[in-house]
Amino acid sequence: MQQASYHHGDLRNSLVNIGSDMLNTRGVSGISLREIARTIGVGHNAPYRHFRNKHELLEAIAEEGFRKLTAKNTRLELEFSHDPETQLFESAMHIVLVAAEQPNLFQLMFGGFLQSTGCGSELKQAADDAMQSLVRIIKNGQQKKVFVEGDEVKLSFSAMSMIQGIAMMVSTGKLKPSANAKNWSESPIILKGTVLQLFDVFLNGLKLDK
């Protein structure tokens, strides 16, 4: 891991970025605040200005992941404003790609580790914001008479359960790429096609009969 540089006042973001890299390559147990400090080139006590311990850093990494999901869903609302099905599918693909390319990050966000050990209000808010961005997609589909009527929150939880199920199989290796590919990053088109096939089954239950 190359030594990173940071601008004055931006140490927190550098800690999160390097921590994310370390999480992806080593997993939760491999993260060390002292080593992150050495990688950035600051004193070993510097990280503690922003995070009291490794758990708080992990929360910040997960929080950033949820913020990116919220931003993705917001862009999808604008880009495919008249196509709720595409909004929902591309939102699902974002999560599945995180599971495929950064399985440790996916497990941190959705695997229950932080929830089981307790998490702070900022992470809870980021996760709720991400969920609400999915609720808006479902609600948009209902307003456009594409998705069935009903409680949009319950439908969103149903959609998220399906999405997380697929993503979990990808992140744990239960859903594997083709034999010629070592991992999903070498076969993104096949991954998208596989998710689309599974997603169609769910959409059949969500869409209004025409």
Domains of the chain plus CATH, in order, are: 1-51 (1.10.10.60), 59-206 (1.10.357.10)
pTM of the model: 0.86
Burial class (CB in 10 A: 0-12, 13-18, 19+), 42: middle
Neighbours of 167 (CB within 10 A): 27
Residue 19 and residue 36 in contact, taking contact as beta carbons nearer than 8 Å: yes
Written as tens digits, the pLDDT of the chain (210 aa) is 444 555 445 888 999 999 999 999 999 999 999 999 999 888 888 888 889 899 999 999 999 999 999 999 999 999 999 999 999 999 999 999 999 999 999 999 998 766 656 678 899 999 999 999 999 999 999 999 999 999 999 999 999 998 999 999 888 888 877 666 666 766 777 788 888 888 887 777 787 765
